[in-house]
Structure 1
Amino acid sequence: MASRICDSVLVTGSNRGIGLELVRQLVDSPSPPVQIFAGCRDPSGPRSQALQELAQKHRDVITVVQLDTTSLTSIAEASKLVETKLKGRGLNLIINNAGVNVPGSLAETGIQEMVDVYTTNVVGPMLIVKDFHPLLCKAAAQFPHQTNMSCKRSAIINVSTLLSSITRCPENFSVSPMYPYRVSKAALNMLTRCLAEDLKKDGILVMSLHPGWVQTEMGGPKAPLTTAESISGLIKVIASCTEKDSGTLLDWEGKNIPW
């Protein structure tokens, strides 16, 4: 039997696209996590119907959690619910997937566009980590004789993008200008690097992952990767990560992307 990727995981933005496929493939894996917390902004809304149907099918594993990653109140209530469900155990893995994009040429971009995208793509993941940090520490401490970091023990995965790479910007900027998205995801990478340094004392692995250009509502129909292909690769990378990967940006095939 395949090894379980972790005992417990929280996925944000899980009602559609990459987040929904993450939950689906995790629960359908040969050894699924014991508990999957599927966070989304509006669990009872029409855009969450597919997630609710999946959760109904796997009621013993999936808990749908109301979670607006830009709301302190929502995050606090979600962390209390997760803590209660874990019954004294820690949370092994957070996948900060919730993110937004808006049309982003220079002409289209103003203060509000930059602030809104930055708030969701950077501030949101930071707030999630702050509130769930005690549960991540508790998970890491449950492996008292293990010094190696891994997603099975305690980890944070921030979903980033190739478009965040400053080094690679000249080769792809003309195809996808997207100022708010690019700038916010570059900032998310710095958040990843800071957290990796800050939380290594706690035994928590932190890294960014690029899922590829995927056929989602955000990625569009012309994207070369299906969500199934992307997430299959991401899960393999997540399962194989060690402390050498902490503070890095990898793609869905495990290849390093320069900052």
Structure 2
Amino acid sequence: MTTHATPRKSALIIGASRGLGLAMAAEYVARGWRVTATVRGDGRTALHDQADAADGRLTVEAVDITVPEQVVALHSRVAGTAFDLLLVNAGITNGDVPVTDVSTETFNRVMVTNALSPMRVVEALQDVVLRAGTIAVMSSRQGSITLNDRAGYEVYRASKSALNQLMRSFAVRHAHDPHTLLLLSPGWVQTELGGPAAPLTIGESVPRLVDTIENHAGEGGLRFVDYQDHTVPW
């Protein structure tokens, strides 16, 4: 009798040197996936330490997603692998500053990092994702226009709203593409970005995020959901 082992799933995680991305890479490795995850520079990071302990199931690549040529080069390096999941994790903030006090340079940097660059990655790497696979992008509850009843962090909010709109346009342009598309809200988490006062730990958010991604595997279409798999209003 011939037996067939279940193929191990694979994920490509963009932006995993720290915080949520680092924890997502660890969670997928712990669940038996093969993971390729990226850092921005050439220096050693905690992700490299994870790779050393992952028995060959975690590969580290370097890419700065704000540099289009580096994204193209990454595509060339991973083109031989078919991934079940592409997860793009990117986010910076300029702090809680009213938009009238933000320089044009800072505004551009936040928008390019949080909105334009993730979408360039999605466009460039969509073809390495299996047709029944998932393309997920880390958004935020603060990107919801409906839920903006407190103001604050205006440029960060605007960048995540822009990301959501661009992902919606991508979904429309690729309406007949079978990929599942997800915008993810991880909750307010105790990371460098979220700060120590955040109510959620990484350990409380990340496993639920991974469960949420898996809940929608193979469904197709675009959804904006949080770490509890609740729909977030646009």
Q: What one-letter code is carried by the residue in structure 2 that aligns with 1:248?
A: R
Pairing 1:55–2:57 present: no
Structure 2 equivalent of residue 149 of structure 1? none
Are the equivalent residues in 2 in contact too, given 1:208–1:249 (CA < 8 A)? yes
Shift of 1:131: 1.4
Structure 1 equivalent of residue 115 of structure 2? 122
Matches within 5 A, 1:169-184: 169-170=148-149, 172-173=150-151, 177-184=152-159
Structure 2 equivalent of residue 14 of structure 1? 16
Are the equivalent residues in 2 in contact too, given 1:95–1:159 (CA < 8 A)? yes
Pairing 1:97–2:89 present: yes
Shift of 1:199: 2.7
Shift of 1:134: 2.1
Matches within 5 A, 1:51-200: 51-84=47-80, 86=81, 90-103=82-95, 104-136=97-129, 139-140=130-131, 153-170=132-149, 172-173=150-151, 177-200=152-175
Structure 2 equivalent of residue 145 of structure 1? none
CA displacement 1:96-152 (0-9 Å, x = unmatched): 11221112323431211111011011111111112112222xx21xxxxxxxxxxxx
Are the equivalent residues in 2 in contact too, given 1:113–1:180 (CA < 8 A)? no
Separation of aligned partners in 2, 1:192 and 1:168: 19
RMSD of aligned C-alpha atoms?
Answer: 1.9
Are the equivalent residues in 1 in contact too, given 2:99–2:155 (CA < 8 A)? no
Pairing 1:37–2:4 present: no
Shift of 1:242: 5.1
Aligned length: 228
Q: What are the ranges of 5 or more consecutive residues in structure 2 without an aligned counterpart?
A: 1-5
Q: What are the ranges of 5 or more consecutive residues in structure 1 without an aligned counterpart?
A: 141-152
Separation of aligned partners in 1, 2:155 and 2:105: 10
Separation of aligned partners in 2, 1:231 and 1:178: 23
Q: What one-letter code is carried by the residue in structure 1 that aligns with 2:39?
A: C
Greater helix content? 1
Are the equivalent residues in 2 in contact too, given 1:6–1:92 (CA < 8 A)? no
Separation of aligned partners in 2, 1:223 and 1:37: 29
Q: TM-score scaled to structure 2, two decimals?
A: 0.91
Q: Quote the sequence identity (%).
A: 29
Q: 1:214 aligns with which of 168, 182, 189?
A: 189
Are the equivalent residues in 2 in contact too, given 1:109–1:179 (CA < 8 A)? no
